[in-house]
Amino acid sequence: MEHVSRIDTAREAVDQALNFADDEPLSGETPVHDIVLSDPLLQHLPFEGYRILDPQSSRAAPIKPLCDRTHSYISFVTPVFGDDRATGFAKRAASICRFVGRNWNNLLLVFVPMGIIAPELGCGDTVVFVFNCFAIVPLADVLCRATDDVSSFLGDTAGALLNVTMGNATELAIFSHALLQRQYAIVRTSLLGSIIVNMLLVLGLSILAGEIQMRGQSYNVLATRVAAGLLCLTTVSLLVPSTIKSSSDNIIQKRDILGISRGTSIVLIVVYIVYLWTQVKSTRFSYKPLIELGDEPVVQEMQESLELDRGSIHRRTLSYPRTFAPLPRSDIAAPAQYIDNRDLPDPYLAETFSDQMTATLELVRTIPWVRKAIPVAMMILSTCLISICGELLVGSIDHFVDHSPISKTMVGLIILPVVGNASELISGIMFAYRKQMDLAFAICIGSAIQMALLVAPLVVLLGWTLGREMSLNFSLFEAITLVASTVLFFSLVFDDRCSTIKGASLIAGYTIISLTSNFITSTED
């Protein structure tokens, strides 16, 4: 190598380039145009340097240079290809999907005022029905979260009672308005649909989501068998009144069925109280808590899991622990401690008005009585809004059925249960995808048991209190649907391993029931 001055280096580089341009270009070599020595680009060259020449041809395909006619030199800036643009679009789409997935409940809250003011604006009952269906979904999620926050301040016993009371407030509000309007067929089909949607649809989608993440996940088979026994009991209890033929007189027969339904409801409530006592006092027949699943806990996934629909977990199963065991590794516990002790924002340091308001609200929420009053207010407000939307929803069912190809049986058996259990559906899928199959099973099966042992008897007794002749007299299609769903559930969950065929079978069974329900004509009492 030879030390040269700045000008000599530039001149020799130009001469060398011109000599190469006259000769036949090598493979992978790009011809160089004239370079002006007064170009500002040359000012960035060092005063002294090395003249390095590597005429070896490149193995890669030559890139067509981009000529800069202003400065008369060739720029080898890497061009932007179509693949890079497609990758950027895919990243933006994935980011939007993640945002919608994390904030779906907040986005759907816009339908709450729309559903309430729709009748005042002269909208049709079909629009009112659709708006209020979408409005009840986020309100149920808000009620779940608020109930869970309030129950955490009350202790284990009082918190469990609050979860049991407010856990199914959405369904009870809809059923109460349906009873007041004497929509007995809607109430019965909705009760039945809420049971099978958790046994078949929610559980099937959860199993498939878990299989996508990791094949052959296991769950607590002992707790599943106990839950299966309780579901078998409820199936028999709900179908026995429908088989009574005590007299040829229709009035006497209805009276006997009504009496048997009320007596059966009292027995089922007693069984549910025993079931709650067993869940609180013993963990042998309950699902494993989050930390004891055997997998290595990951901080980010675990924190997201704790924040995901906590109300749905607590209200559907009392076996899920309210406080978690300490993590064995200090490096895992350290980030959680850092998050809990993070500095609060200072309103005086905020630059914009929105930042000042956000910082002020964060400081106000740290006050103890405010931190307790907010979830109580949210619980009361969401309950009132659910009651209003439920009344508008039930009042528009008849018009919606008359002016749409959907039957009344499908509305009660499919649409209303999916609306009321949308939070459980999303929670079960997310927990199964995060390899927490025990929690997914606890949400699905716990919801079905609570609906069969508590909500259905309470609706019958509530109708008795309101002077409504609400009975458990299911039609032939409804009885066959309940028996077939229970048998399918029993045959697929009695071992401790998940599989794709199990999830697909559960979803297929629910799909067949959904399609058939649209061709069944509802018969009122």
Q: Which of 230-239, 314-323, 424-433 has the highest mean pLDDT?
A: 230-239
Are 440 and 432 in contact, with CB atoms under 8 Å apart?
A: yes
- Clarify whether residues 118 and 193 are in a common domain: yes
pLDDT tens-digit map of 170-194: 888 888 888 988 888 899 999 999 9
Distance (Å, rounded) from C-alpha 525 to C-alpha 523? 7
Please give the pLDDT value at position 9.
58
- Clarify whether residues 353 and 466 are in a common domain: yes
Q: What contacts 277, CB < 8 A, 6 or more positions away?
A: none
The arithmetic mean of pLDDT across residues 337-357, rounded, is: 51
Distance (Å, rounded) from C-alpha 185 to C-alpha 205? 28
Please give the pLDDT value at position 318.
44
The arithmetic mean of pLDDT across residues 58-75, rounded, is: 49
Does residue 80 form part of some domain? Answer: no
Please give the pLDDT value at position 430.
82
Distance (Å, rounded) from C-alpha 397 to C-alpha 346? 51
Task: Give the residue from 442, 209, 433, 223 showing the smallest Cα distance to 312.
Answer: 442
- Clarify whether residues 396 and 511 are in a common domain: yes
Are 171 and 420 in contact, with CB atoms under 8 Å apart?
A: yes
Does residue 203 form part of some domain? Answer: yes
Are 459 and 470 in contact, with CB atoms under 8 Å apart?
A: yes
Query: What is this structure's pTM?
Result: 0.67
Name the pLDDT band for 197 (thresholds 50, 70, 90): very high
Q: Pick the range with the lowest mean pLDDT from 138-142, 247-251, 336-340, 357-361.
A: 336-340
Does residue 87 form part of some domain? Answer: no
At 19, list the tokens.
């000599």
Does residue 88 form part of some domain? Answer: no
- Clarify whether residues 55 and 147 are in a common domain: no
- Clarify whether residues 119 and 64 are in a common domain: no
- Clarify whether residues 58 and 136 are in a common domain: no
Q: What's the domain count of the chain?
A: 2
The per-residue b/e assignment along 137-148, b for 16 or more CB within 10 angstroms, e otherwise, is bbbbbbbbbbbb
Please give the pLDDT value at position 297.
39
At 336, list the tokens.
């959680």
pLDDT tens-digit map of 400-438: 888 888 888 899 999 999 888 887 788 788 888 888 888
Task: Give the residue from 185, 155, 189 showing the smallest Cα distance to 417.
Answer: 189
Does residue 525 form part of some domain? Answer: no
- Clarify whether residues 10 and 133 are in a common domain: no
Q: Which residues pair with 67 in a beta bridge?
A: 74
SS3 letters across 314-365? HHHCCCCCCCCCCCCCHHHHHHHHHHHCCCCCCHHHCCCHHHHHHHHHHHHC
Determine if residue 467 is left, alpha or beta; phi over 0 gives left, psi from -120 to 50 gives alpha, anything else beta.
Answer: left
- Clarify whether residues 411 and 462 are in a common domain: yes
- Clarify whether residues 360 and 450 are in a common domain: yes
Please give the pLDDT value at position 402.
87
Please give the pLDDT value at position 270.
92
The arithmetic mean of pLDDT across residues 338-362, rounded, is: 55
Are 168 and 159 in contact, with CB atoms under 8 Å apart?
A: no
Distance (Å, rounded) from C-alpha 207 to C-alpha 212? 9
Does residue 434 form part of some domain? Answer: yes
* Higher per-residue pLDDT: 314 or 443: 443
Q: What contacts 117, CB < 8 A, 6 or more positions away?
A: none
Please give the pLDDT value at position 510.
93
Determine if residue 182 is left, alpha or beta; phi over 0 gives left, psi from -120 to 50 gives alpha, anything else beta.
Answer: left
Q: Which of 80-89, 102-111, 149-158 has the highest mean pLDDT?
A: 102-111
Mean pLDDT value across the chain: 73
* Higher per-residue pLDDT: 200 or 33: 200
Which residue among 49, 75, 101 closes a domain? 75
Please give the pLDDT value at position 414.
92
- Clarify whether residues 294 and 211 are in a common domain: yes
Please give the pLDDT value at position 509.
93
Task: Give the residue from 200, 219, 193 showing the smallest Cα distance to 486.
Answer: 200
Distance (Å, rounded) from C-alpha 204 to C-alpha 208? 6
pLDDT surpasses 80 at 250: no
Distance (Å, rounded) from C-alpha 492 to C-alpha 507? 12
Phi, psi angle pair for 75, to nearest 5°:
-100, 130
- Clarify whether residues 35 and 173 are in a common domain: no
pLDDT tens-digit map of 319-331: 343 333 333 443 4
pLDDT tens-digit map of 485-495: 999 988 888 77
Name the pLDDT band for 141 (thresholds 50, 70, 90): confident
Check residue 290 and report its DSSP letter: G
Does residue 85 form part of some domain? Answer: no
Does residue 90 form part of some domain? Answer: no
Please give the pLDDT value at position 157.
64
pLDDT surpasses 70 at 286: no
Phi, psi angle pair for 290, to nearest 5°:
-65, -40
* Higher per-residue pLDDT: 62 or 282: 282
Q: Which domain holds residue 70?
A: 6-75
Distance (Å, rounded) from C-alpha 299 to C-alpha 234? 40
- Clarify whether residues 71 and 200 are in a common domain: no
pLDDT tens-digit map of 376-403: 888 889 889 998 998 899 889 988 888 8
At 333, list the tokens.
């516990």
